[in-house]
């Protein structure tokens, strides 16, 4: 199987960018006084191709998968927590469930390779509301132990990418918010950061679900062994197959398809950013479509953001994952678009631009 990945066009259109900037600059405020919200409004207008952008039917997708590397003790929690948390999402009890409800964001959980059958006992062909099952045949239990062999074969990786591409094609709306669940996936994200950004694994490895300092050191040693076992996994998809997870690979496909469709992509924390890291290595223009919700408390995320040359909207010390930070940042995107559409200009409000600026400086 050779997945055909979508190619991305450059969104930059001088006429639209100038129109957006002119509109922002002539709102009833001193220029630049809304700070980074103005840059966000400009970006959203460019993504959606409008100087009056409207965000419609936002979709938060939690990509879930298990990792064979967990048996090496890289997480404070057992793998069973992956499927238990998926059930919590489906029952509406997780943080991301709450934040999605508050912000009226549709929530979908995708089983990309969780060691559990969420459809057990149901009649054949029956689904569950809010759940999509997108397991790769032959890898239904998640990835292999990457300290012993590649986490996925290249074919399995490509199948997971295709699942992500296909999934986004079925979703309504023009905004995709990224979430994930998978015990052990901070290890996969750390490995991808180290390999694709050329960083030392020590810089990329953090506490994950709550490891103490000695456990982080042990985790770092294991991850260094994994990198040494796969020295030739350098190209983006080779690295993803050798080091990543099925939820990350599926997310990469989803990111590329959403970018191709000019959806706004709201990136959560460390693991979601690792999927964008891979997507960026394949299609650098993907970053034009990405809004980074927050800077995670996970150690490697700061270095990942620096490598990509981006700045996150929030810095709240979050390290939960799930898409929780993306859901929390969503109102800022809504506000940025509403500012473009609804805030008066000096001309329409009958306010003297010079007088308003002077008054604001008093």
Which are the catalytic amino acids?
322
Q: Which of 218, 231, 234, 290 has its CA nearest to residue 259?
A: 290
DSSP 293-323: -B--SSHHHHHHHHHHT---SB-S-----TT
In DSSP notation, 158-180 reads: HHHHHHHHHHHHT--SSEEEEEE
User: Which residue, 243, 246, 181, is CA-closest to 209?
Assistant: 181
The answer to whether the beta carbons of residues 96 and 107 sit under 8 Å apart is yes
How far is the C-alpha of 56 from the C-alpha of 71, rounded, in Å? Answer: 42
Query: Counting runs of H as helices and runs of E as strands, what totals does the chain give?
Result: 15, 6
Secondary structure of 117-145 in HEC code, one letter for each residue: CCCCCCCCCCCCCCEEECCCCCCCCCCCC
156, burial (CB in 10 Å: exposed 0-12, middle 13-18, buried 19+): buried
- Kindly state the tokens that stand for 265: 């992509």
């Amino acid at each position: 199987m050779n997945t055909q990945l979508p190619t991305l066009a450059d969104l930059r259109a001088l006429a639209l960018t100038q129109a957006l900037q002119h509109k922002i600059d002539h709102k009833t405020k001193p220029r630049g006084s809304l700070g980074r919200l103005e840059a966000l409004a400009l970006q959203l207008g460019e993504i959606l191709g409008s100087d009056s952008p409207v965000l419609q039917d936002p979709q938060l997708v939690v990509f879930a998968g298990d990792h064979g590397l967990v048996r090496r003790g890289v997480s404070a929690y057992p793998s069973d927590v992956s499927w238990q948390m998926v059930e919590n999402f489906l029952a509406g009890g997780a943080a991301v469930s709450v934040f999605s409800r508050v912000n009226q964001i549709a929530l979908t959980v995708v089983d990309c390779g969780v060691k559990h059958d969420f459809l057990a006992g149901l009649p054949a062909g029956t689904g569950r509301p809010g759940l999509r099952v997108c397991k790769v045949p032959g890898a239904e239990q998640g990835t292999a132990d990457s300290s012993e062999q590649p986490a996925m074969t290249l074919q399995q990786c490509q199948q997971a990418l295709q699942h992500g591409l296909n999934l986004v094609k079925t979703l309504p709306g023009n905004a995709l918010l990224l979430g994930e669940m998978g015990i052990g996936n901070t290890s996969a994200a750390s490995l991808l950061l180290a390999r694709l950004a050329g960083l030392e694994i020590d810089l990329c490895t953090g506490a994950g679900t709550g490891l103490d300092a000695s456990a982080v050191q042990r985790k770092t040693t294991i991850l260094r062994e994994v990198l040494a076992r796969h020295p030739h996994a350098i190209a983006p998809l080779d690295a993803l197959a050798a080091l990543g997870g099925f939820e990350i690979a599926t997310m990469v496909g989803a990111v590329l398809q959403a970018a191709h469709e000019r959806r706004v992509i709201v990136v959560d924390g460390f693991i979601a950013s690792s999927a964008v890291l891979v997507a960026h290595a394949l299609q650098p223009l993907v970053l034009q479509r990405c809004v980074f919700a927050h800077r995670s408390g996970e150690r490697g995320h700061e270095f990942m953001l620096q490598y990509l040359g981006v700045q996150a909207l929030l810095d709240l010390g979050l390290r939960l994952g799930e898409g929780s930070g993306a859901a929390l940042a969503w109102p800022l995107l809504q506000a940025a678009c509403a500012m473009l559409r609804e805030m008066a200009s000096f001309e329409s409000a009958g306010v003297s631009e010079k007088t308003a600026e002077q008054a604001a400086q008093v």
